[in-house]
Structure 1
Amino acid sequence: MIAVPFRFSTRSLRSQLLVYSAGLLLVIGLLALMVVKRFAFETAQSTFDRPLANSALQLLEEVRLEGGELAIDMPFSAFSGLADAPRDKVFYLIATKQQAYVTGYQELLANDTVRQKIQTYTMQLETSPEYFDLKFRGEYLRVALVGRVIYTRNGPQQVLVLVGQTAEARTEWEHQLSDVALKLITAVILCTIIVIVLLIYQVLKPVKLLNQKMMKRSNIDLTPIDLDVPEEVSHLVKSINIFMGQLDETLSNLKNFTSEAAHQLKTPLAGMRVQVELLHSRETTAETERALARVLEACDVLERTIEQLLNQATIKHRYRSIEPQTIHINALVENVCRSLAIQALARDIELSLQQDAQFTIVGDAFGVEQMLLNLIENAIKYSPGGKSVEVEVVRRGSKASIVIRDFGPGIADKDKSLVFERFHRLPGGEQSGTGLGMSIAADVAEHCRALLLLKDTVPNGLTVEIQFPYKTWQEAE
């Protein structure tokens, strides 16, 4: 015996499935009951109408002309077919189309319904009974009406025979059929509900097991779930495992990044402290100025490092918490170039922008902006005075690209794959950097499904191309 615990809740999937199933079964049951009741009524009518019509036809066949008058010998067999309903009463009437009484219950001729039916009855070559309901002497009758033409000396005479029977037997039989059908439908619905409850419990059992397995885990256990579940639930388990894997990776990266950042922050702080101590121990003005210059340089590095660290942390957080949005690349590139124009002028660098295409992508606007800022700022920083930095938005076949070209010292081929590592600085560089800008750019490009390519500028320099493959971008209107 399977114990099925049940607690009704509007937010419970089990409860909702049971309510919807029971409601659907109830509707189907009501429709089936209506159909059965209609079938029982029609069956009762058909079953009891047939002997009623036979009785009326037998009486009609016995009507004859005697001495110029219509007469009938009442056959005993005419009413034998109605003996199956012994408690029902039988009434009959034989009359002419002109409503002349021949025999039977003359009171029937006084009934308006009977008079109307006799008046509107249509004679046919093959006699066909007409049925109707009638209230007579306080009881409801089911009546069969037939007629034929008898030829007399005065011409054809239309004779009609009416036989009526109370409806007690047929009503009782109809109720018996309906009661049996109602009991059968109720039993089927109850059995079906029981089966549905068991099936719902069995179907949702893997979900319950999955929930129990997750509840037993500690908050630091991010190992994949190993659970034998049906195919439909396996997709959920797979999604949970992927999510936990991503979370585990994120936490691991955050841990490593924090330790690395802490180490990198200590270096400029230590340098600044040494130079300040030097300032106090020396009295010459030249040495003091050099020390102060180094302090300022260390402060700049520290400030930029902190800024980059915060930007990277913000980008990582936004990727996990904010839905991607449509970004108009051209407008974003223009804003970034405009914000760096003063910095370029201060270094005597000509910053130019050329747009040969208009396109949009789906991603995080803040992250893409930081990627462009880092790449264009690096190009300005490492370009000698009097040179230019070229920014282009172009389309090449099925690919859309942002190209940033400088004419500085460039990057050796052996170092190109290393510049995307965190805190990696090129050896022998005159400009001090944080080692985070290219790493942030690479992370953003990967999130946008773009390729970040490093090429040599002719005759010298570095060209950075952010390439968006087919289906990752759309033409802007």
Structure 2
Amino acid sequence: MFSLSSISTRSLRFQLLAYSASALLFIGLLSMLAVKRYAYQTAQYTFDRPLANAALQILEDVLLDGDELSVDLPFSAFSGLADSPRDKVFYLVTTKQKAFVTGYQALLSEKTVISQIDAHPLQLEVAPHFFDLVFKQQHVRFALVGRVINTRKGPHQVYVLVGQTTEARTDWEQQLLSVASKLIFGVVFCTIIVIVILIAQVMKPLKSINRKISKRSNVDLTPIDVQGPEEVTHLVKTINSFMFQLDETLVNLKNFTSEAAHQLKTPVAGMRSQIELMLSRESSPQTAQWLMRLLEACGILERTIEQLLNHAMIKHRFRSVEPTNNNINQLVQSICRELAINALKRNIELSYQQHGQYQIKGDEFALTQMLSNLIENAIKYSPDNSVVEVEVARRGTKAIILIRDFGVGIKDEDKPHVFKRFYRTSGNRHSGTGLGMTIAADVARTYHARLILHDTVPQGLTVEIQFPYRKWKEIQ
């Protein structure tokens, strides 16, 4: 069974259908109870009336013959009961003193009959009284009437009981209940069908909104146009208003990023130029050493600003730029060519291998930043006269990129933390911003890829990027 809380978490269509069906079933149950009561009362009224008529006719034919009561049973008294041929009829004529006149004398031994006779008041206008009794192992419905007959010895109270077994009235009641139940079931079933159709019509505008939004790209923030009832129109206006505000926010963020890049880089570049000018004119070794440290700090500051702006730009482009198909092999080759000069300065061989051509859908700028940071880190932490290997291949259902260096590597305790912002491993003597691995992890996460860190044998670090099935396509 569903609770109200579980229903409220399901679809709106299911909720409307569940509440409507529950209300209909409750109304149907009440209708069934009412019909059952009505069928019972109708059956009682229909069969009690001929029973009472029979008793009254017999009572009218009770006569005083001398000092004794006699009855000439009329045929018409039982003709009205002949409509139920399967039922048996019992009757009794007696007095207040329980004197037997005619009929089934065994009825006088029933306590219920005696109590009903004693409790039955005689009135000017004869009114029948009905009661039920199990007589001779059968359920019998009795009608009791009585009147006063005046004799020379005084008034005599005479009572007539006429009973009939209830098989016919029970069958009639069941038939009436069956017909009414089928009618109620048919009405409830048809109503549910109508409700389902109406719910489908009501949900059409919402499905149209969902369909139009789901088909849009992540950069399409133009207003949607859906015609519908007043509530749907309000919802569409709210969605359009939200998308307008979001579009303005993204535009402002883009403007801020470009302005911040200019405003932050300009003074740092000016500071670097001044330091380089002072360094060219300074002859003191100690002062030159201080200026070199300042120049190095400027480089770190420039790199930090650049990384922060790139990170902000990547997040902005995730929401504002439509993904495109990128040949990952060509992208890796282009980055390797750009970084080869830095590698050659330290006599580091930058090796590239590929086993197949692969295409990945995403933002080229974001993918470039991820690969540049990882390859640049591999070069930076490699010793001179070593090798950095970059490999593009396929493993099972995954397209992978391996970036392998033979430097100092990363300790196992540091590996879970290197993707945090500004995290620097202990004992790291190389300058850096602590943002490169964070940017790489964000880009990989956005494109459902995994960044896995392995130890290179005999030493060093291997970064493995895994693109899962259906996130890449092989180029023939």
Mapped to 2, the partners of 1:68 and 1:267 lie a distance apart of: 139
Matching residue of 1:261: 260
- CA positional deviation for 1:146: 0.8
Displacement of 1:32: 0.8
- Counterpart in 2 of 1:32? 31
Q: Give the secondary structure class of the aligned counterpart of 1:92.
A: strand
Amino acid across the alignment from 2:111: D
1:85 alignment partner, SS class: coil
The whole-number CA distance in structure 2 between the counterparts of 1:17 and 1:148 is 64
Shift of 1:125: 2.1
Q: Please state how far the C-alpha of 1:152 moved relative to its aligned partner.
A: 2.4
Corresponding position of 1:16: 15
Cα gap change, 1:227 to 1:250, in 2 (>3 Å): same
- In the alignment, which residue of structure 2 is the partner of 1:100? 99
CA distance in 2, matches of 1:171, 1:284: 124
Q: Summarize the alignment of residues 262-341 of structure 1 with structure 2, pairs less than 5 Å apart.
A: 262-282=261-281
SS of equivalent to 2:70: strand
What are the residue-to-residue correspondences of 1:406-417 with 2, within 5 Å? none
Query: What is the rounded CA distance, in whole Å, between the counterparts of 1:10 and 1:251 in structure 2?
Result: 32
Deviation digits for residues 121-146 of structure 1 (CA, Å, limit 9, x no counterpart):
12222221110011112211110001
Aligned to 1:195: 194
SS in structure 2 opposite 1:44?
Answer: helix
Note the C-alpha offset of 1:195: 1.1
The verdict on how the C-alpha distance between 1:269 and 1:169 changes in structure 2, with shifts beyond 3 A counting, is same
Query: 1 CA distance for matches of 2:221 and 2:282?
Result: 60
Superposed structure 1 runs of 4+ greater than 6 Å apart: none
Q: Which one-letter code corresponds to 1:121 in the other structure?
A: H
Pairwise CA distance, 1:281: 4.4
The AA in structure 2 aligned to 1:135 is V
Contact 1:127–1:147, Cα closer than 8 Å, also in 2: yes
C-alpha deviations, 1:396-419, integer Å up to 9, x for none? xxxxxxxxxxxxxxxxxxxxxxxx
Question: Residue in 2 aligned with 1:239?
Answer: 238
Secondary structure, counterpart of 1:220 in structure 2: coil
How many residue pairs get aligned? The number is 294
Q: Distance in 2 between matches of 1:27 and 1:226?
A: 40
Q: Distance in 1 between matches of 2:23 and 2:164?
A: 41
**Contact 1:64–1:71 (CA under 8 A) maintained in structure 2:** yes
Aligned amino acid, residue 243 of structure 1: F
AA of the residue aligned to 1:100: A
The amino acid of 1:181's aligned partner reads A
**Residue 12 (structure 1) shift:** 2.6
Q: Give, as a single letter, the amino acid of the residue that structure 2 aligns with 1:269.
A: V
**Within 2, Cα distance between the matches of 1:184 and 1:248?**
58
For 2:370, the equivalent position in structure 1 comes to: none
TM-score by length of 1: 0.57
Q: Could you tell me how far apart the structure 1 residues matched to 2:92 and 2:118 are? A: 14
AA of the residue aligned to 1:23: S
For 1:276, give the aligned amino acid: I
For residues 347-426 of structure 1, the aligned pairs below 5 Å read none
Q: Hey, what does 1:148 align to over in structure 2? A: 147
Q: Which runs of 5+ in 1 are unaligned?
A: 1-7, 318-477
1:221 aligns with 2:220: yes
Q: Is the 8 A contact 1:9 1:15 kept in 2?
A: no
Q: Give the superposition deviation at 1:107.
A: 1.0
Residues 159-174 of structure 1 aligned to structure 2 (within 5 Å)? 159-174=158-173
Judge conservation of contact 1:131–1:143 (CA < 8 Å) in 2. yes
Give distance in 2, aligned partners of 1:171 and 1:223: 71
Query: Which whole-Å deviations, capped at 9, do the CAs of 1:134-170 have from their partners, x for residues lacking one?
Result: 1112211110001112222332221111010111221
3-state secondary structure, aligned to 1:161: strand
Q: How far 1:24 moved relative to its partner?
A: 2.2
- CA displacement, residues 90-137 of structure 1 (integer Å, 9 cap, x when unaligned): 111011111111111111111121111112212222221110011112
- Distance in 1, matches of 2:14 and 2:71, equals 73
Task: Supply the distance in 2 between the matched residues of 1:281 and 1:48 (Cα, whole angstroms).
Answer: 126
